[in-house]
């Protein structure tokens, strides 16, 4: 196992945590394209993965539309979101979302940030997102909303530095998903596959909740309760592999194994 080093190179960039298997790098590039294909990200949004051997490093694409990411676009960062070897490649402005969540959550191995549209209304009105069906069981534990103006006043809404990332990570807390008012959401997971699954089903759940609210016309909603959420999520974390295999196969021609 590679030993992560806190030491910096002479150029001031953090040292790499070590080489990552090319298949895993390809999987991360594929995850970007999967999220685009599933309507979770468009020209914007990003997915990261903690370095498998160095917990104080993570991997994420250079600043690029997710549907265009290839393995050679994947960069490595320290948890302050400094690139180890950018080689002239640009970084996402909002990479601090990822680094700060990895700092506070040792269990999180992957993070998705998106502006998936069906989710956004739940950050704008006082209607909590709830788990409408078993695939979205991870939402039953509650979905907090990060309002950037509470600490930072009027901003461009972007989590574009470490302080804003810290504030977001505090709101995420131990949850798997958090909304960002007038912006988007984050989804976390114990694996790349789980984080992608949760990002996809957060968007699907939002649509189902909109339909349910309209259909119910004020009637109580029989969403999953906390216990049902916990039980169903345990199954999902294994079943997510099936969804991942399907989605990974669908982008196989774009990002080879
Ligand atoms: Zn964003």
Q: What is the pLDDT of residues 61-96, one digit of tens each?
A: 999 999 999 999 999 999 999 999 999 999 999 999
CA 183–ligand 1 middle distance (angstroms): 6
Instruction: Please report whether residue 8 resides in a domain.
Output: no
- Please say if the pLDDT value at position 179 is more than 90: yes
- Residue 11 binned pLDDT confidence (cut-offs 50, 70, 90): low
The span from the CA of 150 to the CA of 191, in Å, is 31
CA 114–ligand 1 middle distance (angstroms): 6
DSSP label at residue 79? T
Instruction: Please report whether residue 220 resides in a domain.
Output: yes
Structural domain for 233, as ranges: 22-250
Instruction: Please report whether residue 7 resides in a domain.
Output: no
Helix (H, G, I), strand (E, B) or coil at 189: strand
Quick one: what percent of the chain has pLDDT higher than 70?
95
Q: Which residues are catalytic?
A: 94
Nearest to 135 by CA among 224, 251, 41, 250: 224
Q: How many domains does the chain have?
A: 1
- Please say if the pLDDT value at position 175 is more than 80: yes
Instruction: Please report whether residue 29 resides in a domain.
Output: yes
**Residue 80 — φ and ψ, nearest 5°?**
-85, 5
Instruction: Please report whether residue 9 resides in a domain.
Output: no
Nearest to 66 by CA among 251, 253, 193: 251
Instruction: Please report whether residue 12 resides in a domain.
Output: no
Instruction: Tell me the average pLDDT of the chain.
Output: 94
CATH of the domain at 88: 3.40.225.10
Give the pair of three-digit tokens for residue 67: 């549907």
Q: What is the CA radius of gyration of the chain?
A: 18
Instruction: Estimate to the nearest angstrom the gap between the alpha carbon of 8 and the chain centroid.
Output: 27
CA 75–ligand 1 middle distance (angstroms): 19
* Contact yes or no for 71/25 (Cβ under 8 A): yes
CA 246–ligand 1 middle distance (angstroms): 27
């Amino acid at each position: 196992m590679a030993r992560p080093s806190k030491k910096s190179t002479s150029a001031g960039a953090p040292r790499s945590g070590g080489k990552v298997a090319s298949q895993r790098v390809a999987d991360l590039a594929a995850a970007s394209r999967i999220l685009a294909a599933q309507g979770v990200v468009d020209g914007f949004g990003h997915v990261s993965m903690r370095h498998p051997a160095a917990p104080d490093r993570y991997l994420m694409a250079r600043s690029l539309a997710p549907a265009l990411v290839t393995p050679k676009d994947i960069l490595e960062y320290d948890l302050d979101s400094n690139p180890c070897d950018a080689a002239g490649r640009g970084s996402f402005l909002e990479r601090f979302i990822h680094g700060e969540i990895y700092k506070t959550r040792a269990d999180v191995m992957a993070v998705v940030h998106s502006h998936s549209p069906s989710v956004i209304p739940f950050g704008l009105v006082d209607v909590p997102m709830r788990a409408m069906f078993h695939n979205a069981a991870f939402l039953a534990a509650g979905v907090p909303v990060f309002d950037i103006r509470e600490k930072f006043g009027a901003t461009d809404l972007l989590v574009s530095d470490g302080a804003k990332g810290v504030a977001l990570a505090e709101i995420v807390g131990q949850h798997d998903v958090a909304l960002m008012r007038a912006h988007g959401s984050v989804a976390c997971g114990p694996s790349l596959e789980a984080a992608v699954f949760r990002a996809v089903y957060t968007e699907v759940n939002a649509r189902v909740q909109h339909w349910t609210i309209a259909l119910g016309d004020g009637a109580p909603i029989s969403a999953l309760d906390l216990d049902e959420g916990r039980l169903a999520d345990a199954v999902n974390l294994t079943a997510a592999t099936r969804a991942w295999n399907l989605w990974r196969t669908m982008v196989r021609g774009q990002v080879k194994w």
